[in-house]
Amino acid sequence: MCELYFRNEGLRWKAREGQTLLEAAVEAGISPDAPCGGKGSCGKCRVRVNGELVLACQTKAADGMEIDTLWEREQDTQILTEGHTEDRKKTIVNPGTLPGDVKDPLLAAADVGSTSVVVYLMDARTGRELAVRSMLNPQRQYGADVVERGNYVLKHGPEQLYRCIRRAVSDLLAQAAEAAGRTAEDIVRVALVGNSCIHHLFLGLPIDTLVKAPYNPVVKGALKLPAAKFDVRIHPQGEILWLPNIGGFVGADTVGGILASRIYEKEKPTLLVDIGTNGEIVLGDRQGLMACSTAAGPAFEGAKITCGMRGTEGAIDKVWLENGKLSWHVIGEGEPKGICGSGLLDATACLLRLGKLDETGRMEEQTVSFTEQVYLNQRDIRELQLAKAAICAGIRLLCSHRGIKVDEIDTLLIAGAFGNYMNPASACAIGLLPPELENRILSIGNAAGEGAKMAVLNQEEFKRSSRLSEETRFVELALERNFQDVYVEELLFPEEEE
């Protein structure tokens, strides 16, 4: 054993011989960032050891090390909790027969995202929202996206990932109950949503078929299960509801978004897009729904971008042109520490407008600097191209399957945190979203969380989630013959109109 001292946390920890500093930090409960899953390729787990800058995942623990962690502080991170759909507020409170014998029972909903976890606490009788609590998903220390986490599970087993996410949900439920002047044992039912991989990891299901062909979930249907079986610390007889998956990486969070947005009732073709490390896309109206998933990767979360970071204090989140030069805004108004996804989109759109970036993605100069420490380089632009091409190719292929042109879409609904903060004009300027839809884009916030609330408040909505899952046609893009051609075409940036 060797003793480490994590200075910022004021924590002394005995690490095992042969452990990396990243592994030791995880065991110590520090929850470091490791977007690449500890492969040494992302550079986000940098720490100072006795004054020397090193990667925690590549550095072996040694006795007497003093470590300064340089990771983003969780309390500074912007986590989206609100949805902008009106339908949830109109939900009739009808949860059905509730378990337990609680005089004034509580209900809860949890949106378990790849990046963050949000819990909502509600009165079971009135539906009134009593408290909201959120945190970053602790699974991020095993990889930024579900592919990295899946690979970690195949190599090391699932126990660490399912234990930490169950604990996170339980902790947030307890915090929400305390904020409402109640206890977690007053909560009798919790509805959860998350993508298929998160769903499987929470439930302890094998994920082999998700990370390898044919990319199918082991369980698709809606579930009602005893909370105690999964270490969710609520009423001893409490239940958890998991909304159903659709297929592949289109999971219960997408079903929640469908519920909240009501796109299945729309008269005209409507598009629902949740842009994150995994992009989920649904196209439909009252005549039917189809969905697909695109592996956008973590670029929009700041991972794999040289100076990338989440939307936390110190991140450049907006960029614009002023007298032909780049100007920017920093979250917290201080000195820039990095650039987050929305800033990356804006900056790229500005470079295209200035002619410093051509349609192939080639930069005029090797780097574009905001400060000496914060800049974009050619590799960053390539990462963005891979991510934006995946999303736009998915949209165009769904339209092709539906037999409509993109400009026939009536409304493009953007769900999720990234979509909430991005500039739609920049998204269209770089080809992340089809430029012909720029004036039809509407941000609806955390639609997945809104759908989970609807399902726990009204048993008919929970039943409807099953029907929607079964009726939604899943399109597996990996098996599409022309996906590669469309994807390669979308790697290009749109040409500036004269």
pLDDT at 255: 97
Q: What is the pLDDT of residues 110-144, one digit of tens each?
A: 999 888 899 999 999 999 999 999 998 888 888 87
What secondary structure letter does DSSP report for 230?
G
- Residue that wins the pLDDT comparison between 289 and 79: 289
Q: Which secondary structure element, helix H or strand E, spans residue 33, and what is its range? A: none
pLDDT at 496: 65
Strands 106-112 and 129-136: unpaired
Confidence of residue 89 (pLDDT cuts 50, 70, 90): low
Domains in the chain, CATH or no CATH each = 2-71 (3.10.20.740), 87-261+448-454 (3.30.420.480)
Q: What is the pLDDT of residues 242-282, one digit of tens each?
A: 999 998 789 999 999 999 999 999 999 999 999 877 789 99
pLDDT at 362: 96
d(CA 343, CA 365) in angstroms, rounded, equals 19
d(CA 184, CA 191) in angstroms, rounded, equals 15
Average pLDDT, the chain: 90
- Residue that wins the pLDDT comparison between 487 and 248: 487
Residue by residue, DSSP assigns 64-124 as TEEEEE-PPPGGGS-----B--SGGGG---B--SPSS--SS-EEEEEEE-SSEEEEEEEET
Q: What is the pLDDT of residues 195-252, one digit of tens each?
A: 998 999 999 999 888 877 777 889 999 999 999 999 999 999 999 999 999 987 899 9
d(CA 71, CA 401) in angstroms, rounded, equals 43
pLDDT at 498: 47
Burial of 249 (0-12, 13-18, 19+ CB in 10 A): buried
Q: What is the pLDDT of residues 359-387, one digit of tens each?
A: 999 999 999 999 999 999 999 999 999 99
Confidence of residue 154 (pLDDT cuts 50, 70, 90): confident
Tokens coding 412: 């493009």
% of the chain with per-residue pLDDT over 90 = 64
Q: Which residue has the tokens 């989440």?
A: 310
Confidence of residue 151 (pLDDT cuts 50, 70, 90): confident
Model's pTM, two decimal places? 0.89
Q: What is the pLDDT of residues 284-342, one digit of tens each?
A: 999 999 999 887 777 887 778 999 988 888 999 999 999 999 999 999 999 999 999 99
Confidence of residue 37 (pLDDT cuts 50, 70, 90): confident
Say yes or no to pLDDT of 76 above 70: no
Confidence of residue 481 (pLDDT cuts 50, 70, 90): confident
pLDDT at 10: 87
Confidence of residue 87 (pLDDT cuts 50, 70, 90): low
Among residues 17, 65, 18, 22, the alpha carbon closest in space to that of 42 is found at 22
Confidence of residue 40 (pLDDT cuts 50, 70, 90): confident
pLDDT at 144: 74
Q: Check if the beta carbon of residue 6 is closer than 8 Å to that of residue 115.
A: no
